[in-house]
Amino acid sequence: MRQVGIIPSLELAQRFRDYLLSLGIGSQVREQRDGFAVWVYDEDAVPRAKTEFGPFASQPDEAKFKAAVQAQAAKVEAVPAPSAEVAMPRTWAQMPGLFETPVTLMLLTVSVALTLWAQFGEATGVVGRLVMSPAAFANEPWRIVLPVFLHFGPLHLLFNMLWLKDLGGMIENLKGRLFFGVFVLALATFSNVAQYVISGPGFGGMSGVVYGLFGYIWVKSKREPWSGFLIDQQTVWLMMAWFALCFTGWFGPIANFAHGGGLALGLAAGLIPGKPQRA
């Protein structure tokens, strides 16, 4: 999904949206500080939408644009009432608050509490009870999940918590607490086991889970624009650039295989088709 232009008034933005729909191009209107942005769902249709945007911006009252609004209004009147509520996408600023997403809040709280208890990895006795070990696969299975809550520096903790809040909050809000809780558990298990098997113990952090959440939202926003999931292209580039940079070793030891395992599982989960909803 990509932005094709900003229009100063909501009425004109909706008119352009309806005109695009008459051309078979699905889009949505989002309010911004500087006006109303029109976002096109299918990136293959972006060039055509941008071509149409120029004439519309200069002459929005042209007959063909007004006719598109009337045609769409007639179609809406002919469509029966929807059988299910559509989960409309939100902007980042409109994401639910933490108290609306209690599972996300719990994950944040546990991460901060355990990291402070372990003194950012300095309290070796505490860390020894949290990290993976051979016992995790026999007598202490909780060790398979616990490393995601342990962080080794303030910035490590801060950035993971910010991503968890935004990405996790979006999934919990749209898919529900049970799905989100089970999904996080699966991501934590898969990413931690991947890192342990390939590189051994001595790692921690929510990054593997975060990359799994990111991968899931990325695929859903591309394949199922009606699902309510959205992520802008800048975020995609940022996440993938950091993913690649971590493998260079410039930033010290990083659990790259946890990142990769989480991302792989998130992408795969996003490919599982959801139930389409009528609008």
**39 and 114 assigned to the same domain:** no
**40 and 96 assigned to the same domain:** no
Q: Which residue range(s) make up the domain with 196?
A: 92-270
**98 and 207 assigned to the same domain:** yes
Q: How confident is the model at residue 180 (pLDDT cuts 50, 70, 90)?
A: very high
User: Within a domain: residue 218?
Assistant: yes
User: Within a domain: residue 176?
Assistant: yes
Contacts of residue 51, defined as CB under 8 A and 6 or more positions apart, other chains included, come to none
User: Within a domain: residue 22?
Assistant: yes
Residue 86 has pLDDT above 70, yes or no: no
Please state, rounded to an integer, the average pLDDT across all residues of the chain.
Answer: 83
> Higher pLDDT residue, 133 or 86?
133
Q: How confident is the model at residue 200 (pLDDT cuts 50, 70, 90)?
A: confident
User: Within a domain: residue 30?
Assistant: yes
Contacts of residue 29, defined as CB under 8 A and 6 or more positions apart, other chains included, come to 10, 13, 14, 17, 36, 37, 38, 39
**130 and 240 assigned to the same domain:** yes
Under 8 Å between Cβ of 189 and 141: no
Domain boundary among 20, 47, 78: 78
Domain boundary among 78, 103, 128: 78
User: Within a domain: residue 58?
Assistant: yes
pLDDT at res. 1: 64
**70 and 103 assigned to the same domain:** no
> What are the tens digits of pLDDT across the range 216-253?
999 998 888 777 888 888 889 999 998 888 888 777 77
Among 215, 216, 219, 211, which Cα is nearest to 256's? Answer: 211
User: Within a domain: residue 265?
Assistant: yes
**115 and 32 assigned to the same domain:** no
pLDDT at res. 76: 52
Distances (CA, A) of 209 to 13, 27, 186, 265: 37, 30, 9, 10
Contacts of residue 170, defined as CB under 8 A and 6 or more positions apart, other chains included, come to 90, 95, 96, 217, 229
Under 8 Å between Cβ of 231 and 221: yes
Residue 215 has pLDDT above 50, yes or no: yes
Q: How confident is the model at residue 97 (pLDDT cuts 50, 70, 90)?
A: low
pLDDT at res. 73: 64
Q: How confident is the model at residue 275 (pLDDT cuts 50, 70, 90)?
A: low
**114 and 58 assigned to the same domain:** no
Tell me the mean pLDDT in the region 157-181. Answer: 93
User: Within a domain: residue 9?
Assistant: yes
Q: Which helix (H) or strand (E) holds 256?
A: helix 256-270
pLDDT at res. 88: 45
Distance CA 20, CA 25 (A): 5
Instruction: State the total domains in the chain.
Output: 2
Domain boundary among 78, 101, 133: 78
CATH number at residue 74: 3.30.70.2350
**67 and 119 assigned to the same domain:** no
User: Within a domain: residue 86?
Assistant: no
**38 and 70 assigned to the same domain:** yes
**Secondary structure (DSSP) of 185-241:** HHHHHHHHHHHHHHH-S----SHHHHHHHHHHHHHHHHH-GGGS----HHHHHHHHH
Secondary structure of residue 36 in the 3-state scheme: strand
**37 and 147 assigned to the same domain:** no
**101 and 73 assigned to the same domain:** no
Q: Which pair of tokens denotes residue 42?
A: 């299918």
**63 and 131 assigned to the same domain:** no
Residue 150 one-letter amino acid: L
CATH number at residue 169: 1.20.1540.10
